[in-house]
Structures are given as C-alpha cells and as structure tokens.
C-alpha cells in the first residue's frame, strides 16, 4: 500500500514538472504537392484565372471543339500535338476564324532543306521556329539590357514592359510579316500574335512559365490573364496518370509478389502429373493388327494419303490380273466392267474407287470413305 502511494506521488510530481516545462508551439509541415497538382501542371494557372473571374475548363482532346462557342472563348493548346491530323488543324483554324482566341506552343524547328517542320499547325500559320544560338549577336546598344534572359512585352501607354520567363533557347521568325504583336528577350522572339478572321492566334516558344511553380515569377501570371482577358478559357493537354502496374508497385509491392507466387503455384499444380506413369507395353504382346496399324500410321505420316490409296489400288489390280488374264490389255471402261462383273459392285463404285485422286489432302471423312470402298472391292475379288 505504501509503495503504491509512493509511486503515485512520483508520477504526479513528474507530470507537474513536465507540464510547467513544456512549451507549446506551432509549425507548418510541407507534405509536398497534392496528387491533383502532380497530375495537372497547370492547376495553379487554372486557379489564378478563376480568381480573376474567368471560367476555366480542362480537356484532354480536340473532341470538345464542336461544343465551344468561338465568340469570347480562348483555346490553349499546351500539350503534345504531333498526332494532330490535317482535319483537326482545319477545325481549329475555322474555329479561330469564327472569332476564337487560339494559343499554342511551337514544338518543332523549321527545316530549310524540306521547307517545313514537324509541326503542321505552326506551318499553317507560316511562322518558323529556330534555335537562338543560331542567330546573330544583338546590336551593341542592347548589351546593356539589365534583364537579357527575360522576355519583354511593351504595351501602349505603359512606361515599363511586362517581364516573362520564356525559354530563351528558342526563337520565332515571321518571314511573311504577318505578326501584329510580339515579345522579345535580348536576342530572340518568344511570342507572336496574328489576326485570323474574327479571331486571333498567339504562338509561344514554350508554356513552362505557366506551370507550377514558375507562374508566380515576374509577370508570368499577369501575361496569362492578359492573353485571355474577357473570355472563357479551355486548356487542352493530356494529364499524366500512373498506370495500374505502377501504382501496385509503388503501394502494394508485397501483395504483388504474393500474387505472382500464387500464380506460379497454380501453374505448378496444373502441371503436376496425377497417378503413376503408364509403363510401355511389352514387345512380346504386340499382335499382328497392331503392327499393321503402326505401319499404316508410319506411311501416312511420311508419305501421305495418296501412298496408302495407291497401295490398295495396286493390290486390287494384282488380284484381278490373277483372276482375269489379259486384264491389262483392256481399255479403262472395259476394265471397270470386268471389275464390276467379278466383284458384284456397281460400275459407279468401281469408278470412284479406282480413279486417280487429286493431290490435295482429303478430309478425314472422305479418306475413310475412299479406303472403305477400296477394301470392299478388294475383299469381293
């Protein structure tokens, strides 16, 4: 009893000491991007545009194009377009001509030798993309640019440009002088805008500046809003989803190993031999019929059906020559009449049995029927 009271006092004293010494505090634990953000690199861009009052949707294919009213609507092609068909390009261009705003990323370099690129849509708007390193050095007055790696967009009535972080490794060219607006870094052009019917087309060298986390740098977010202001926005790109096998390997490796083991055990069980081995038959017990059957099977496998049928026909001819001397001197029709008279079989059956057979393989039923006719004829002689 005394020991219990002493232990209780000690625990109480320790709890009080820890209570007075413990200092509560708050901290933020970063669990990284959410699964939704990992699957959608433009999720932050979508949330930003919605906060500006724009209606934003996301699509994975151009199948949604007929449902989009081109008036006051922006379509951003931000994904891979190498499988885009000429018909789809016509649909996109017609949609833009009717009043839509189209923005897409140039994704192929211009080839002077072939006179085209692998980007059909870029070729359609007659713009070319090249590497900035292949350009000539800028004039000396631009060397003092404090931000040579930032793209600058100059607006009317604005004293300072807007800055964006386009990839400066690529450059857009306008050989037909069709562009009405553009944005440049110190050495290259990274954005161009063209009129197309009632709509407009914006071509950029890359869209990484609107992905997380680059969208909050400089004026990247503002530029995205500026290009799509007063419209409903549809972002078109393929979201990347892990396959079922990848998810299983990531979260359930032990279960996957167990499943493979069970499948292996199942195959082993199915492949097991049930019952004792069948001993081969003793050679001393083989009958004449078994030898004949084995010989026939051997001839059939190695020489085919024609060899067996021809052997039966020759046996019949040997028997009829023995019973009717001079048989081989007769014509075919007369030979068949003699066979019919001596065997008691109709002439039609004689013709079917003794006529040469085509070389193609007979079916099992037809072969058995032919053998039966020949055997009947032979046994009747």
pLDDT-derived band at 239 (thresholds 50, 70, 90) equals very low
State the CATH class of domain 36-136+145-236: alpha beta
The string of pLDDT tens digits covering residues 23-58 is 776 777 665 566 676 678 888 889 999 999 999 998
Q: Which has more pLDDT, 80 or 16?
A: 80
Say what angle helices 347-354 and 364-380 make with each other, to 10 degrees.
120
- The mean predicted confidence, pLDDT, of the chain is 79
Tell whether the torsion through CA atoms of 33, 34, 39 and 41 is positive or negative. Answer: negative
Of these ranges, 142-156, 266-280, 314-328, the one predicted with the greatest mean pLDDT is: 142-156
Q: What would the DSSP string read from start to end of 78-143?
A: -S--TT--HHHHHHHHHHHHTT-EEEEE--S--BTTTTB-S-HHHHHTT-EEEEGGGSPPPPGGGT
3-state secondary structure 220-262: HHHHHHHHHCCCEEEEECCCCCCCHHHHHHHHCHHHHHHHHHH
- According to the model, what pLDDT value does residue 358 have? 62
The string of pLDDT tens digits covering residues 115-148 is 999 899 999 999 999 999 988 876 665 557 788 8
What value does the mean pLDDT take over residues 334-338? 73
The string of pLDDT tens digits covering residues 347-371 is 777 766 676 666 666 676 776 777 7
CA dihedral 279, 285, 289, 292 (to 10 degrees): 70
Residue 205 near residue 172, CB atoms below 8 Å: yes
pLDDT-derived band at 195 (thresholds 50, 70, 90) equals very high
- In 10 A of CB 143, how many CB atoms? 10
CA dihedral 297, 301, 302, 306 (to 10 degrees): 90
Q: Which has more pLDDT, 8 or 89?
A: 89
- According to the model, what pLDDT value does residue 266 have? 77
- According to the model, what pLDDT value does residue 79 have? 85
For residue 217, list its beta bridge partners. Answer: none
Quick check: pTM over 0.75?
A: no
- In 10 A of CB 264, how many CB atoms? 10
The string of pLDDT tens digits covering residues 271-313 is 766 666 666 666 555 554 555 565 555 555 545 566 667 777 7
């Amino acid at each position: 009893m005394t020991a219990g009271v002493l232990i209780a006092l000690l625990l109480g004293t320790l709890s009080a000491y820890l209570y007075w010494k413990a200092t509560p505090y708050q901290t933020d634990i970063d669990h990284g991007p959410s699964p939704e953000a990992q699957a959608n690199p433009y999720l932050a861009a979508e949330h930003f545009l919605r906060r500006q009052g724009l209606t934003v949707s996301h699509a994975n294919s151009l199948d949604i194009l007929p449902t989009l009213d081109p008036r006051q609507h922006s379509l951003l092609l931000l994904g891979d377009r190498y499988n885009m068909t000429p018909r789809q390009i016509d649909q996109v261009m017609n949609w833009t001509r009717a009043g839509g705003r189209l923005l897409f990323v140039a994704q192929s370099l211009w080839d002077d030798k072939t006179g085209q690129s692998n980007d059909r849509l870029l070729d359609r708007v007659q713009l070319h993309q090249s590497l900035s390193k292949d350009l000539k050095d800028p004039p000396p007055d631009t060397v003092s640019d404090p931000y040579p790696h930032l793209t600058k967009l100059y607006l009317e009535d604005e004293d300072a440009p807007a800055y964006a972080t386009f990839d400066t490794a690529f450059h857009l060219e306008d050989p037909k002088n069709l562009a009405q607006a553009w944005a440049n870094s110190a050495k290259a052009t990274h954005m161009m805008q063209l009129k197309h019917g009632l709509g407009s087309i914006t071509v950029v060298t890359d869209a990484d500046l609107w992905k997380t986390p680059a969208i909050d740098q400089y004026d990247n977010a503002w530029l995205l809003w500026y290009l799509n202001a007063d419209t409903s926005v549809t972002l078109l790109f393929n979201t990347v989803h892990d396959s079922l096998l990848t998810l299983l390997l990531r979260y359930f490796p032990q279960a996957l190993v167990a499943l493979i083991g069970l499948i292996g055990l199942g195959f082993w069980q199915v492949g097991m031999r049930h019952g004792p081995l069948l001993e081969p038959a003793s050679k001393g017990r083989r009958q004449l019929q078994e030898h004949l059957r084995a010989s026939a099977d051997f001839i059939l496998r190695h020489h085919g059906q024609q060899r067996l049928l021809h052997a039966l026909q020759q046996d019949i001819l040997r028997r009829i020559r023995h019973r009717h001397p001079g048989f081989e001197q007769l014509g075919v029709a007369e030979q068949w009449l003699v066979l019919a008279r001596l065997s008691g079989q109709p002439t039609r059956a004689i013709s079917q049995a003794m006529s040469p057979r085509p070389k193609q393989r007979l079916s099992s039923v037809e072969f058995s029927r032919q053998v039966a006719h020949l055997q009947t004829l032979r046994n009747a002689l």
